[in-house]
Structure 1
Amino acid sequence: MALSLSAPVGDKKRITKSDPKTGTSKFKPVKNAPADVKLVQLMLKANGYSNIQISGKCDAGLIKLIRDFQSKKVGYKKPDGIVDPGLGTWKTGLPKLQKQLAEDQKVEVYEIKEEGKTKQVKVNEFLAGEKALRHEVLSKANMMYGQAETWVDFCNDVEKTRQAEEGMMMAIVEFTMSTVNSDTDPPWSAILKARSEASSLQSLVKRDRPDWKKVQKQDAKATKAYNDGQKAFKKFIDARIGTASNAIFTLEIVRETSFTVIEVYATARLMATKGMDPWKAHAIASAGTEAMKSSAGQLGEYLAGNKVTWEGAAKKVATDTFFAALAGAAGGKLGGAFLKGVAGKVAAQLPSKAFQTFSQKALTQFMEKMFTTAVGQELINNAAKETIMLFKPLVEKGRPPNQKEVLDGIVKTLTGGLMKAAPMKNVSEFAGNYMSNTQNWMLKKLIPSTMDGMVKKELAKKYGADVVDAFAEKHGPKIYKDIADSVNSKTIIQFANDILGGSDGSKSGKSMQKSMEEAMRKDANLRKEIAAMIQKKADAELKKMAKAG
């Protein structure tokens, strides 16, 4: 880049007088050629006027900055607002412009397209953006692949059941389902395609240097396949649920199949006619069906001539019924006081190091919400079923566990694998980074915006807008850092607790951080507190400057 001006830049109404000896002017007319204007703007930027726009247009704002530079850096008592080629203003500003250009030439840059426009970015900025994009797309790909894998696993289990790997009774149930409604057949094509396309997206993103055009194209394909798979799987599940209640009326089914269909149908009827919660209806239906099945089995033993006593038969029916009821409750939606008890106890046993800044109240609220999600219900259901089986020997000896024992057992089983669940990983990510992320956000965004929006007007009334603007540009960053460091950490922790207490773990740690920043930005009291701190510090500095000037 040529570092010379072809003509003067600045105020066309020149106030500089002609040479008194010759009576002629040594100054050329001000032309404000775009290339010259850009060069002057770059010169001012290199000399500390960081907010200037490199536009190539000379307006009142640029002339004002030229005068400010002439007054402060060149030492003119009567700045004329003009940069003449080769004269004092240009010579004073040129060294720093030359240094800045030399440094820029050492920095490798990439050309990228953004919103249809080509622009240059530094390599470290490009790599940081690429890293964030890679994380975002890979997280999405992992989610879609994991969900598709779950669909495939479920359908594999259905196929195993159809092959009688879980017993003839369950095989007959699956056969009955398929006969009544073909939509109960697993949607293999859609879910396998969803898994395959998500896997391809994972592979493209994990490469050392991803081809982002291919990634974008594959992302669209994988997303469509995932949505299609989700619809197909939902249709499949809905068909299975709907078919169970109809099968008993449309087919002549063997006794074992009838019991299974009766249990499903009885659950639905109790919910519809009695308004029962799903978990309670399922528990009653399971107990009633198991009692019929167990008593029928004992009668069959007696008719077959096997040794059966009234006491032994009653004990067998009671034991089978008890476990069917517990399993029924575990298989449905847990809620009420039981769920709150689980949430509170699990929250109390979370690793203190990872969650030390969160209150017990916020952790418990989060757990209650998380356990009502599909992931949370699955965690509790599995833990409940494992716990029930642990108590079987105790019940067979004649003493069923009480509610406290069941609750404690579920909590203990849950706590073991809880941290591996996706909601807990999201919260852990938020917990580990929110303090430093929030302080950095306040320093770069919240505090400067508060200065521009609330404080500058008040300071300008005392010291003048130009003085305040110059002061903010020069001293603002240090003041912002002092205030960011002095904001009470308890305030930040309180906002974090509020976000955690309202979360169910479905959002990523990054999303929770954004929600917290938005809540802080909207909090009028916090902004007033920050504004007062800025005004106090700025006022003190400006008074010192006024005395020194």
Structure 2
Amino acid sequence: MALKITAPVGEKKRITQPDPKKKNAKFKPVQNKPADVEMVRLMLKANGYAVAIHGKCDAGLIKTIRDFQKKKLGFKKPDGIVDPGMRTWNAGLPKLAAQVAADSKVEVYEVYEGGKKKLVTKKEYEAGVKALQKEILSKANKMHSEAESWVSICNDIEKTRQAQDGLLDALVEFAVSSVNDKTDPPWTDILNARSEASLLKAFAGKSSPDWNKVHKQDLKATKTYNKAVKTFKKFIQARIGTASSIVSNLEIVRDTSFSVVEAYMTARLVVTKGMTPAKANAVAAASTEALKSGAGQFGEYLAGNNVTWDGAAKKVFIDSFIAGLAGAAGGKLGDALSKGLATKLAAAVLPKLSGNLSKKAAETFFKRFLTSKAGQAMVTNALKETIGLMKPLIEKGRAPNLKEIKEAVAKTLTAGIMSHASAKALDGFTKKLPGAGEAFLRKTMAPKIMDSMRKDLVKIYGADTFDTLATKHAGEIYLKVAESLTGKAIEKAAVDAVNASDGSQNAGQMQKLANDAMRKDAELRKKMQDMIRTEFARKAKAMKKAA
């Protein structure tokens, strides 16, 4: 960038006169060329003035020039004009030159925001890209997850129609479809929604996304998803109306009553409670099973063969029952129940672990475990016993509250938790972590880090000294570094490993997660570099002294 102006900038009416001592002295006329005006604005900004950068000379700019002339040059009567190569320009030029030199060292990117071009630093650009990538991935995951749940419930409906769940259920679905053909699953729209959301996840999840592709796919996936939302809602509304009509008007045998109520409840929970179809289906199925086992007034009522929503079904499917016991029986834990169980499991396991682990890390581990397939299976099995404990309450017509459900489930789960594979894995991991972590630091990380420092160390001490120390004393240096850092590094790695796991990994897999966490820990790497540098200097000094 050429730091100069070609013609005067500022007030067009001069109040100053040329130097009479200089022969033929005169001023050039003020022209306010856009490029010159922009350069003057840059100069003033470099000298601490808050001015916008553009090529227009206005009253504000002239006022700022006068202020600069008065404060910087001591003009008693500032003229508000910057002449090429003269006092005002020369006074502001050093700071402008320094600013330009500093800016040239900063990598900048040209981006568009709100339709306008702007320059940002590399750090700002990378932070913006990361935030945008996170936002789009979150949206894509939400759309994909919801589409998956739609596919899941429609698959269940198709299985039922094909009599894979029994002839009686197939007859129920046949009856629903016969009454209203709009209850057929909207396969095209929901599969398209899942496919486009999956493609958006793939595009946005790359390490260096093609943002043009991401933008186009985002628009396409959103449009497809919104269409599927409307189609699926219409499909569910059709099932609600049809199932409700069947339940209200038909005389049916007891077992068929349960099947129709389950179909009706699945549809109702999706629309009225905002549940995903998969969760609603699990809740409805579990609630129906609990109803069958009640044998009290509900069973007696259903034995009369006349089932309506305002009758037995309404009494059974009350909110607390669905959110608590039935939801857990379906293997789908809500946040409140999951958090409570994780805390109780952590409290039961921590005192029995062979190694050390913080309470927070243990709770995180079990919360993740409870959302895994293995955890859901464990909860489902525990609920077989819990339903038995709750049976007296159900028979009396009172649904158990969340506290009672938590206590019953926790009692069943914690009784034998240490024999479960997840607790055994956690125990094995904490037991071996100190030794395995120290060995990883000493045998893997320290040698690689010192190898990466070879060029710098050779430059300081020479190749012969480096090779001698690396050959004779490397092991001592690695051991010193590992022993000094093991405590806090291992503790942090344990937490990172737990956060990275889903509760289903064995002890060896969790150790690998801990090793990966240490390998990626920039702060730990820096500490190891500093210690290796210090130890190398100490050994080199001792070797020089011995010589």
TM-score of the superposed pair, with normalisation by structure 2: 0.52
Report the AA paired with residue 8 of structure 2.
P
Q: 1:15 to 1:350 in 2, by over 3 A?
A: farther
Deviates more, 1:88-97 or 1:166-175: 166-175
Deviates more, 1:389-398 or 1:100-109: 389-398
User: Deviation digits for residues 129-169 of structure 1, max 9, x if unmatched?
Assistant: 22222122111111101111111122222233334454443
Q: What amino acid does structure 1 have at the position aligned with 2:33?
A: A
What RMSD over aligned residues (CA atoms) do the two structures have, in Å? 4.8
1:239 corresponds in structure 2 to 238
Which residue in the other structure is 1:450 paired with? none
Whether the 8 Å contact between 1:197 and 1:222 is mirrored in structure 2 is yes
Change in 2 beyond 3 A, CA 1:119/1:200: same
1:230: how far off?
1.3
- The residue aligned with 2:29 is 29
Q: Superposition pairs for residues 259-408 of structure 1, below 5 Å? A: 260-261=259-260, 290-293=299-302, 326=316, 390-394=385-389, 406-408=401-403
Structure 2 contact 301–312 (Cα < 8 Å) conserved: no
Structure 1 equivalent of residue 454 of structure 2: none
- Contact 1:18 1:24 (C-alpha < 8 Å) held by counterparts: no
Instruction: Trace 1:121-520 onto structure 2 (pairs within 5 A).
Output: 121-247=120-246, 256-258=255-257, 260-261=259-260, 290-293=299-302, 326=316, 390-394=385-389, 406-412=401-407
Q: Give how far 1:76 is off.
A: 2.5
* 8 Å contact from structure 1 (residues 200, 218) kept in 2: yes
State the Cα deviation string for residues 25-46 of structure 1 (Å, max 9, x = none).
4433322222222111111011
The answer for unaligned runs of 5 or more in structure 1 is 269-278, 297-320, 335-341, 352-383, 418-549
Q: Which moved more, 1:385-394 or 1:87-96?
A: 385-394
1:430-487 deviation per Cα after TM superposition (whole angstroms, max 9, x unaligned) = xxxxxxxxxxxxxxxxxxxxxxxxxxxxxxxxxxxxxxxxxxxxxxxxxxxxxxxxxx
Q: Tell me which amino acid in the other structure corresponds to 2:36.
A: D
In structure 2, do the counterparts of structure 1 residues 390 and 330 end up closer, same or farther at CA, with 3 Å as the change threshold? Answer: farther
* TM-fit CA distance, 1:119: 4.6
Aligned to 1:39: 39
- Residue 233 of structure 2 aligns to a residue in which SS? helix
Q: Would you say the 8 A contact 2:10–2:80 is kept in 1?
A: yes
Give the number of equivalent residue pairs: 344
Q: Distance in 1 between matches of 2:88 and 2:124?
A: 34
Q: Is the 8 A contact 2:147 2:193 kept in 1?
A: yes
In 2, distance between residues paired with 1:222 and 1:31? 55
Secondary structure at 2:244 match in 1: helix
Instruction: Say which SS state the counterpart of residue 2 (structure 1) adopts.
Output: coil
Whole-angstrom distance in 1 between the partners of 2:337 and 2:257 = 40
CA shift for structure 1 position 61: 1.1
Q: For residues 388-418 of structure 1, what are the alpha-carbon distances to aligned partners after superposition, in whole Å with 9 as ceiling and x for unaligned? A: 854544477899689696442235589999x
The 1:82/1:238 distance shift into structure 2, 3 A limit, reads same
State how far apart, in whole Å, the 1-side matches of 2:74 and 2:410 are. Answer: 72
2:95 counterpart of 1:96: yes
Letter paired with 2:38: K
Instruction: Give the deviation of 1:128 after TM superposition.
Output: 2.3
Distance 1:101 1:95 in 2: 10
Report the residue type matching 2:63 in the other structure.
K
| Paired AA for residue 179 in structure 2 | V
Distance in structure 1 (CA, Å) of the matches to 2:393 and 2:23:
122
- Residues 7 and 32 of structure 1 are in contact (CA less than 8 Å); yes or no, is this contact kept in structure 2? yes
Does the CA-based 8 Å contact 2:239-2:264 persist in structure 1?
no
Q: Take 2:92 and 2:111, find their aligned partners in 1: how far apart are those partners?
A: 32
When residues 12 and 263 of structure 1 are mapped into structure 2, their CA distance, relative to the original with a 3 A threshold, is: closer
Q: Deviations over 1:498-526 (max 9, x none)?
A: xxxxxxxxxxxxxxxxxxxxxxxxxxxxx
- Structure 1: distance between partners of 2:159 and 2:312: 28
SS at match of 2:120: strand
Unmatched tracts of structure 2, length 5 or more: 268-283, 306-310, 325-333, 344-378, 414-547
Shift of 1:191: 1.1
What's the offset of the Cα at 1:3? 1.8
> Secondary structure, in 3 states, of the residue corresponding to 1:17?
coil
C-alpha spacing 1:265/1:157, structure 2 compared with 1 (3 Å): closer
Is contact 2:340–2:406 with CA below 8 Å preserved after alignment?
no
Task: Letter of the 1:188 partner, please give it.
Answer: W
Partner of 2:109: 110
Q: Which amino acid aligns with 2:405?
A: I
Q: Who is 2:19 aligned against?
A: 19
Q: Is the 8 A contact 1:44 1:93 kept in 2?
A: yes
Which stretch has the larger CA shift, 385-394 or 8-17?
385-394
- Contact 2:180 2:242 (8 Å CA) reproduced: yes
Q: Percent identity?
A: 51
Deviation at 1:6, TM superposition (A): 2.0
Counterpart-to-counterpart distance in 2, 1:184 and 1:322: 25
